[in-house]
Structure 1
């Protein structure tokens, strides 16, 4: 399974290796070899030990899986974590978040907030995230410097936003950034029309034309609440998803975030167009937005990925915890204990996220030839014993504090719980200083 005699850069020897593809497989006492940032070998431990490697790492009691993929969030909003809790979505947005953004969001805010989010995500086993926030060029710089992987969506709304005075200007900036970064190995630029109620048909048409030309993805909040759908039907006689379908936006490059309201017609449209759904269970629970019927979507063949949403409405960027919530909630919503089992939940948090971004040939599973984006979870602790199925223990009995090591493109970004490229103390101090300024308690 190894293609040449050149030595491996790194050979990992975990107790369990969960490739995600093929589905449901757990490989015990296997090794994984990395060369030039890609997976070059997967095979039994005995065969692995015969290979020449510059570095060999034993990972006893650890489960090696693909890195987690956080398929929706607003990274810089980490600096608004806990600012306006226990409120419904529109009150939260209109009375608290939008005014705070108007007052505080600038390039420095986005830089510091994005770095905070990147560090939190790396420590939680996330190797790739989808971001949708203002000043995307600043966020891209943060991702570039961190060594992480990301899809960065430029938010586009009908009214001015921080960093762009109009929808046309936001679209121009997105096209320019797409061009600048189209050959970047770890960053993908997407278009982010905010939501059906903030973007007109004319602007959606422009976005569709450009995205088609560039073969770019579109990332959008859709059917987040029953109120959003009801209001659209009252005003136009059309459900928002049907409108997006009519305008030609839906398709394999479209990421529909939230989707808590799904009629039979909506489901047919999702299936027919091969649109991906991004499920954000904890944000939806906290804002009482509704429940995405994950099992129904899954059984119909819709690709469902998972996201944390921003830390201002979650309040953490803990994708492992999010996946556990998703699995539990899927069972309650479907009325079936067999809905979204642990192995499928892990697939939702890895390969399905990659598929939503069009990156499934590069990341999302541990397969020879793919990028070495991986995370090692330590299952040796008291709370994980005894282990019958390590994937069940990971999803149902393990917290993100068990993330021990993490690699992106074969490079270690977390080593024995320590960030290798970022200064945790500095990030914490910066976040505290922002909190004092925003709350009016700074000196």
Structure 2
């Protein structure tokens, strides 16, 4: 008697990511209770299981859900607002003034939901966010069924969210406590950067991370000017400051890291720090080049992030994988650096490791959550298919994502969002654009 299961996905190819180079042909994923029950040949699955839902994806490759390890989700509402500017001018003269005027609970909710729609349609099933009103982002993630790590943001200066460090941390810890039992949404401590959060506050955050066993998500070494200014003021580079404060550990996710010396790479490897590589944002802002191939060779765990849509200008991890692979080769001067399978791992299992979720997501394995993405490779842009993993990294568009499951729930079906109202999101985004644009012209 066949065993009853919730879902059977029969696919042309399955790329489990672990082991790194493996491609399974004509296999089936059996899903039950939101988890992967088995991965086995289709003929065997047909005799062993009977499913409530059975999909034949004979043109598709199935991969683990992509994991975006650095976002400012609500900044989708600032997409294209101030392009073609250097980082600090972009921040100080444009982004921060607009945020001070407009960021509110409603702004964050509308922007985060727009971002979630974009990410789901692009195969991203988990994102690691850093922005004001993280409680609003958490609620929006719960409502649409996306997996999220929401950053408990902290600055030394006031924002619309909090007026001082004690308030940032109090609100953040309250949110953390409220999410302790949530199956999809968790938290990370998120001090913005060493130049916007004092050493004493960072030390305090480090103790909280240790006590609560939470990740720390922070911008580090994003530009040469930032590093030079910090060194002139404090007598050391930002990474050295974090080391003095005891923050360099496997709990730390350091974002950008475009300015690294060889000894610093060794330190990162020795201490187990994770790196969030955001190639498109770094290129657009001319921030520098993360030495991703050297980090990888040294054993540093690297995940891939998009940064915010205001500096990218999208949340497309297929695009990021493509650029990460090419840029890694160019910076290393080596065409064999960062092969396609390694880059796909960066966007999946490495990201899960960086967030402390590798036992739950990041690869397609029995027992793990059924976070799965189906991509149609039988399109003119990706035919012929000699090597599916190469096609995913070097040729595939996010528009070829047809279906997405998170914890076994189908949240994208034949390109249609199942948990979000796309037309409503678009109308709300246009409303914000009208308000912000009119005031900027005044």
Length-normalised TM-score, structure 2: 0.98
The DSSP-based 3-state class of the residue aligned with 1:440 is: helix
Give the C-alpha shift of residue 5 in structure 1: 6.9
- C-alpha distance in 2, partners of 1:322/1:343? 14
- Secondary structure at 2:310's aligned position in 1? coil
Q: 1:55, 1:305 → 2: CA distance?
A: 33
Displacement of 1:372:
0.2
Matched residue, 1:379 = 377
1:149-168 paired onto structure 2 within 5 Å = 149-168=147-166
Q: Deviations over 1:10-62 (max 9, x none)?
A: 00001000000011100001110000000001011111111222221100110
Aligned mates of 1:344, 1:383 — CA distance in 2: 22
CA distance in 1, matches of 2:176, 2:278: 26
Of 43, 46, 49, the match for 1:46:
43
- Match in the other structure for 1:207: 205
Q: Which residue of 2 aligns with 1:28?
A: 25
Pick from 411, 414, 419 the counterpart of residue 412 of structure 2: 414
Alignment RMSD (CA, Å): 1.1
C-alpha distance in 2 between matches for 1:84 and 1:303: 32
Query: Partner residue of 1:11?
Result: 8
Query: Which contiguous aligned blocks of 4+ residues in structure 1 show a shift greater than 4 angstroms?
Result: none
* Whole-angstrom CA distance in 1 between matches of 2:137 and 2:292: 30
Note the alpha carbon deviations across 1:107-144, whole angstroms, 9 max, x for none.
00000000000000000000000110000001100000
Question: Matched residues in 2 for 1:193 and 1:275: separation?
Answer: 16
- Give 2:258's match in structure 1, choosing from 257, 260, 265: 260
1:439 partner SS: helix
Task: Output aligned runs, 1:307-386, within 5 Å.
Answer: 307-386=305-384
Q: Within 1, Cα distance between the matches of 2:367 and 2:2? A: 16
Distance, in Å, in 1 between the alignment partners of 2:40 and 2:424 is 41
Quick one: distance in 2 between partners of 1:54 and 1:155? 42
Distance in 2 separating the partners of 1:162 and 1:192: 16
SS in structure 1 opposite 2:303? Answer: strand
TM superposition shift of 1:253: 1.0
Correspondence 1:42-441 to 2 at 5 A:
42-50=39-47, 51-440=49-438
| Contact 1:245 1:269 (C-alpha < 8 Å) held by counterparts | no
Gaps of 5+ in 1: none
Q: What are the superposed Cα offsets for residues 67-109 of structure 1, whole Å, 9 maximum, x if unpaired?
A: 0001101000000000000000000000000000000000000
Contact 1:38/1:371 (<8 A) preserved: yes
**Partner Cα distance (1:427, 1:119) in 2:** 8
Pairwise CA distance, 1:331? 0.5
Segments of structure 2 that go 5 or more residues without pairing to the other structure are: none
CA distance, structure 2, for counterparts of residue 383 and residue 233 of structure 1: 48
